[in-house]
Amino acid sequence: MTHPDVWTIIIGLGIGTYLIRLSFIGLVGDRDMPPWLLRMLRYTPVAILPGLVTPMLIGQGATELEPSRLAAAVVTVAVGLVTRNVFYAIIAGMGLFVILGALGV
């Protein structure tokens, strides 16, 4: 792929994402959402985070898990369960991953 192709795709996806969000906010922004929709929206981060983390944990074409990635994932889940705070969990897992990477583990 050439650079213009990549940038065209990135800009197109950005515009598409913006329009999707704008349409939802424009359609529902000035009205109260139904309780069933609010209940479903609460689970969105819980559904998206594993989809973002799993490819990084397993890696592309990896045949085995890297110890530093696995340790960071376990710490992230543990901190998340104990504190019930997504930000603390992310910071703890990312911090451990950076520290283990600096140590060469």
Regarding whether 103 and 83 lie in a shared domain, the answer is: yes
Regarding whether 95 and 67 lie in a shared domain, the answer is: yes
Regarding whether 27 and 40 lie in a shared domain, the answer is: no
Q: What is the pLDDT of residues 53-68, one digit of tens each?
A: 777 777 766 667 788 8
Report the share of the chain in percent with pLDDT over 90: 42
Number of domains, the chain: 2
Please give the model's pTM, rounded to 2 decimal places. 0.56
Regarding whether 13 and 39 lie in a shared domain, the answer is: no
SS3 53: helix
Question: Using CA atoms, how far apart are residues 97 and 91, in angstroms rounded to an integer?
Answer: 10
Domain that holds residue 12: 1-31
Of 73, 70, 67, whose CA–CA distance to 89 is shortest? 73
Regarding whether 48 and 25 lie in a shared domain, the answer is: no
The residues, any chain, with a CB within 8 Å of residue 83's CB and separated by 6 or more, are 89
Regarding whether 86 and 49 lie in a shared domain, the answer is: yes
The DSSP call for residue 63 is S
Question: Using CA atoms, how far apart are residues 58 and 66, in angstroms rounded to an integer?
Answer: 8
